[in-house]
Structure 1
Amino acid sequence: MKHLPLFFDLTGRKVAVVGEGPKADLRADLARSAGADVLRFEARSATAQELRRAVAVFVATEDEASDAAAHRQAKAAGVPVNVADRPALCDFIMPAIVDRDGVVVAISTGGASPTLATVLRGRIEAALPERLGALARLVTTFRAQVNALIADPARRRAFFRRLVEGPAARLVLAGDAAGARRVALGELDAARRQMTPSGIAHIVGAGPGDPDLLTLRAAQLLQEADAILHDDLVPRAVLARARRDAEIVPVGKRKGRPSWAQADIDAELVRRVRSGQTVVRLKAGDPFVFGRGGEEVDALRAAGLAFTIVPGITAALGCAASACIPLTHRHHAAAVTFVSGHSAKDGRQPAWASLATEGHTLAIYMGATEASAVRDRLLAAGAAPSTPVAIVENGTRPDQRVSTGRLGDLARLAAAHAQSGVAGPSLIIVGDVAAYAAVSQSPALAEVS
């Protein structure tokens, strides 16, 4: 190791910056962000007597002779000095920094390759949650109580490990600091009574099918879950991103097939979280767009259990983008509506008359088997039979199929999909923008004109 990494408390201390321009300004800003009192000097005014007031000196004049002169003055003052882009003149070097609200990661290559350090910083930034500082503050809040309550060092370490990795951590990283505090208090009480603390449920959107479209948080939670309760429409490629020893439980509901009732799924979620598990309830698309995520949240809330919600790319957005269909377009569509092709439980129907208007895009979920009824309702509401439509099946996946046609031919178009031998979730897009679709070249799904 060429350089010893140290974190220097600069609060209230003086730091000198010699030079003008962007590089000098950057170093001044960094020092101020650490609480330093920054002294700015031009190259000519940076004397040893002046620099002796500082605990560290940054030189960034961007002129070789001026840099060398300022370096000599700093050495004469006996103050550690860093000269920008001149490693031979540096007593200390500046690492690439990732700052998460007080949780700081520094990356250094010892001056060998600042570019490599920058690349590594980008990768680390992508991996670290934004609210790590809030998590550190949560731990600080409970440190004294935990130390007083749990005398055994091994149990105490285990408690803190759960605090920074478990349900309370996930709540604070999701922005629910109050919920995290309640969970931490519950776990502290459970530790006092030597009980198994409750776990947490994460209601997670798996996106439209392409595993690379998972959000960062969804991917992280798949690696942390003890159990994953997944919809039937979540593909194997997404489930393959789970922790190897996670329990994978299919709880899907498919039309015409034996499946779990929603009440049974709710009960299973509650049972597992109460037993202390970290559970991911993995839903195709977004859990709050025709995903019944709201019902599962109601069940968890009624049981007094911790949960978070992780949105996903819903089918309308993923399928439209994959098929090159702009859901809104300055010349063709000023509004878009997501509609279920099936009736609600109480028989309520969408207001088709308000939806069957020009300049309006409809993204119809679960509509392939109801294509005839959807067509009839829109035509009866005043939509033109010539309105462009597209059906996107298995959107964003390698076996995606897209076909286009007119509203009057929607039932025939859906039948062609059903006969194609590719079984998968389908989305119907109705509106002028559907004409932009990149059409599948499969002969069975040729464009209907």
Structure 2
Amino acid sequence: MRYYPVFLDLEAKTVVIVGGGAEAAQKLRLMAKTPARIVVITPFAERELSTEIDAAGACLISRDFDADDLHGAALVFACGLDEADEALVHAAATERNIQINVVDKQDKCSFLTPSIVDRGSLTIAIGTEGAAPVLGQGIKAHLEAMLPPSIGSLVDKASALRPRVARALDKGSPRRDFWRSFFFGDIRSAFDRDPEAGFEQSVDDALSGDKRETTGSVSLVGAGPGDADLLTLKAQRRLLDADVIVYDRLVGPGVLEYARRDAERIDVGKAPGKLSVSQTRINDILIEHASAGKRVVRLKGGDPYVFGRGGEEQAALVAAGIPVDVVPGITAAVACAAEIRLPLTWRGENRSFTVMTGTAGDGAADHDWAALAKPGAAFSIYMGVRQAGHIQRKLLGAGIAEDTPVVVVENGTRPDQKTAVGTIATLTRTLALGAIKGPAIIYVGLDPARSDVLDAQIETQAAAEERIAS
């Protein structure tokens, strides 16, 4: 380890940035998060740098660098200079034993700037000794996904509580147990739910020795359409915190990799025509585990509120007195269209877009078919493959134009994604030729010529027609 990581106290210290351009603006943004006095020395400050100087309240010296400018400086950055000016700044800093960073010149740096995860009082620095800065940035991105912005506020509360904890609890295990609960257990859960009253009550209970039974919580989390990269940062954090994960069949295989290895996983996926866990039983599972004080994630494909029965589960949890929150996910109608670059709306043509289901609890779903058949209507159908014949007959019977375009996306965003293109008059045949069995989204009234799927699909369907004919 050549570079030893330290955290410098920059209170009442001076940081000098010599040079201009985007590099100087970047260093200024970084230093502006500290209490340092910042001095920028450059003959000309471009607009970006001028904006950052004003925002940071930094001092601008609009002339060429002079060695005496480093008097009293704690750190120096040299940014975007030519070799002669760079050498001048480096020599002046070295002679005065001032730590210097010459951007992109590691051999002229006495310190390096790491990738930083900034959560207020919580700061994480990632360094690769200048060998792999992109790797450091990637690690930073993963850590930022794990740590909610509110974690800094929790650290501030911990700092304020330390004297009280020292008075109330003995050293050793009692204090360690408290802080473990504070950052990773019941107190942290209370903070996430209610950073004020609920959190204060949880702290009071822990410090007073009140061992009352605590109630867990349930998060209804949307896992998106399948691709784990489409999971939201908040969903990732909920998975990482969960003691129990109750998940559906349509959750992408990579999504559960974000969960803790020791979390209990319960599969309650439903498949068409197969024996599956009833919704009542799913509600009971959520209530049982949360009542035992566990943090439960109810993980659903897409979004919990879009044909995910999230509302029913929410109602059951609220009736049982279980704290519940909802983390939205990217729903399939939006994600699948984006995957094939199919616009859902188009100015001057379709100004609205309807999301509907093809299947109801007792079979085919019924809709206002006359409204859907009007010219210019555009809509998507979830769970419509098994009911395609019914949908086709209803729309044609309501007067929809036979050449209304249809685009079908099966297993959207996953490696086994398939697409099919046709018209409402050929819907069932289009599904058969494409070997579409679901899960799939059927788009009606959207122009496939505006997507990137049409040419390839015409070739695929022509081959299928030829195979069937032979």
TM-score, scaled relative to structure 1: 0.80
> Could you report, residue by residue, the CA deviation over 1:69-88 in whole angstroms, capped at 9, with x for unpaired residues?
33444455554444444545
Equivalent residue for 2:87?
Answer: 68
Q: Is 1:431 the counterpart of 2:445 in the alignment?
A: yes
Equivalent residue for 1:17?
Answer: 17
Distance 1:308 1:337 in 2: 26
* CA deviation after TM superposition for structure 1 residue 193, in Å: 1.6
Equivalent residue for 2:203?
Answer: 188
Distance 1:235 1:148 in 2: 49
Equivalent residue for 1:318?
Answer: 335
Counterparts in 2 of 1:4-403, with a 5 A limit? 4-41=4-41, 46-48=66-68, 50-60=69-79, 62-75=81-94, 77=96, 79-110=98-129, 112-113=130-131, 116-129=132-145, 132-142=148-158, 143-144=161-162, 145-166=164-185, 169=188, 179-191=194-206, 192-234=209-251, 238-239=255-256, 242-322=259-339, 325-329=342-346, 333-343=350-360, 350-403=367-420
Distance 1:60 1:397 in 2: 44
* CA deviation after TM superposition for structure 1 residue 383, in Å: 1.5
SS of the aligned residue for 1:67 comes to helix
* CA deviation after TM superposition for structure 1 residue 269, in Å: 1.0
Larger mean CA deviation between 137-146 and 80-89 belongs to 80-89
Equivalent residue for 2:53?
Answer: none
Distance 2:314 2:367 in 1: 24
Structure 1 runs (4+) greater than 6 angstroms displaced: 442-445
Distance 1:322 1:74 in 2: 53
Cα pair 1:52 1:79 within 8 Å, conserved: no
**Which ranges in structure 1 are unaligned for 5 or more consecutive residues?**
none
* CA deviation after TM superposition for structure 1 residue 261, in Å: 3.5
Distance 1:170 1:352 in 2: 47
Cα pair 2:222 2:303 within 8 Å, conserved: yes
Instruction: Identify if the C-alpha distance between structure 1 residues 99 and 388 changes in structure 2 by more than 3 Å, giving closer, same or farther.
Output: same
Q: Look up the equivalent residue of 2:72 and give its one-letter code.
A: R
Cα pair 1:230 1:250 within 8 Å, conserved: yes
Number of equivalent positions? 436
Instruction: Identify if the C-alpha distance between structure 1 residues 372 and 189 changes in structure 2 by more than 3 Å, giving closer, same or farther.
Output: farther
TM-score, scaled relative to structure 2: 0.77
Instruction: Identify if the C-alpha distance between structure 1 residues 167 and 313 changes in structure 2 by more than 3 Å, giving closer, same or farther.
Output: farther
Distance 1:51 1:237 in 2: 52
Larger mean CA deviation between 219-228 and 261-270 belongs to 219-228
Cα pair 1:51 1:73 within 8 Å, conserved: yes
Distance 1:141 1:326 in 2: 47
Aligned-residue Cα RMSD (Å) equals: 3.8
Distance 1:56 1:349 in 2: 70
SS of the aligned residue for 1:33 comes to coil
Q: Matched residues, percent identical?
A: 37
Q: Look up the equivalent residue of 1:430 and give its one-letter code.
A: V
Aligned counterpart in structure 1 of residue 421 of structure 2, from 378, 392, 404: 404
Q: Look up the equivalent residue of 2:279 and give its one-letter code.
A: Q
* CA deviation after TM superposition for structure 1 residue 289, in Å: 0.7
* CA deviation after TM superposition for structure 1 residue 229, in Å: 1.4
SS of the aligned residue for 2:387 comes to helix
Distance 1:40 1:242 in 2: 45
Distance 1:30 1:242 in 2: 32
Q: Look up the equivalent residue of 2:18 and give its one-letter code.
A: V
Equivalent residue for 2:3?
Answer: 3
Instruction: Identify if the C-alpha distance between structure 1 residues 79 and 334 changes in structure 2 by more than 3 Å, giving closer, same or farther.
Output: same
Distance 1:103 1:270 in 2: 34
SS of the aligned residue for 1:4 comes to coil
Cα pair 1:361 1:433 within 8 Å, conserved: no
SS of the aligned residue for 1:267 comes to helix
Larger mean CA deviation between 317-326 and 133-142 belongs to 317-326
* CA deviation after TM superposition for structure 1 residue 407, in Å: 1.6
Distance 1:130 1:333 in 2: 40
Distance 1:398 1:20 in 2: 46
Q: Look up the equivalent residue of 2:293 and give its one-letter code.
A: G
Instruction: Identify if the C-alpha distance between structure 1 residues 387 and 5 changes in structure 2 by more than 3 Å, giving closer, same or farther.
Output: same
Q: Look up the equivalent residue of 1:138 and give its one-letter code.
A: L
Q: Look up the equivalent residue of 1:106 and give its one-letter code.
A: A
Cα pair 1:171 1:307 within 8 Å, conserved: no
SS of the aligned residue for 1:129 comes to helix
Larger mean CA deviation between 363-372 and 237-246 belongs to 237-246
Cα pair 1:204 1:281 within 8 Å, conserved: yes
Distance 1:67 1:325 in 2: 51
Distance 1:232 1:259 in 2: 10
Instruction: Identify if the C-alpha distance between structure 1 residues 134 and 195 changes in structure 2 by more than 3 Å, giving closer, same or farther.
Output: same
Q: Look up the equivalent residue of 2:295 and give its one-letter code.
A: T
Instruction: Identify if the C-alpha distance between structure 1 residues 167 and 193 changes in structure 2 by more than 3 Å, giving closer, same or farther.
Output: closer
Instruction: Identify if the C-alpha distance between structure 1 residues 406 and 181 changes in structure 2 by more than 3 Å, giving closer, same or farther.
Output: same
**Which ranges in structure 2 are unaligned for 5 or more consecutive residues?**
43-62
